[in-house]
Amino acid sequence: MHIILGGTGNIGSALAGTLLDLGEAVTVVSHDEKKRAEWEEKGAKFARVDVLDVEGLREVFNTGERLFMLNPPAAPSSNTVEEEQKTLNAILAALEGSGIQKVVAESTYGAQPGDGLGDLEKQH
């Protein structure tokens, strides 16, 4: 089973769709319950879990062997480094003791220019 953390975003949904097209088992993880029906219709399992819920994440991770993850971006109005460190720490804690054997982590940090996009717009 492939677990896609951030599976309803641009990159995660493309990966989940490709894996499903190849006949692979996929669980899409999202905070957005409204996306459940869409993914279940495509043949995926769907897990709604808050990324800060370590035990909830670990339960989902225990259903698979491979994890593709995107650390969710923090709100640009927040201390993005601090907030994204919190979510990363929760993900890492959830991996401990899980059945995940392989992890691929993707970063979109600073990937899109524009207004109100957090760290990319900060002056150093």
pLDDT in tens, 69-81: 988 777 778 787 8
What SS3 state is found at 15? helix
Residue 110 tokens, joined = 């600073």
Residue 115's pLDDT is what?
A: 56
Residue-wise DSSP of 26-46? EEEEES-GGGHHHHHHTT-EE
Please enumerate in sequence order all residues whose Cβ is within 8 A of that of 85, keeping only pairs 6 or more positions apart, or say none: none
- pLDDT averaged over every residue in the chain: 86
CATH of residue 23's domain is: 3.40.50.720
Residue 122's pLDDT is what?
A: 42
Residue 25 lies in a domain: yes
Number of domains in the chain: 1
Whole-model pTM?
0.81
pLDDT in tens, 33-89: 999 999 999 999 999 999 999 999 999 999 999 999 988 777 778 787 888 889 999
Question: HSE of 90 in the Cβ direction (CA atoms, 13 Å)?
Answer: 19
Residue 58 lies in a domain: yes
Place of tokens 């993900």: 91
Domain that holds residue 23: 1-72
Residue 45 lies in a domain: yes
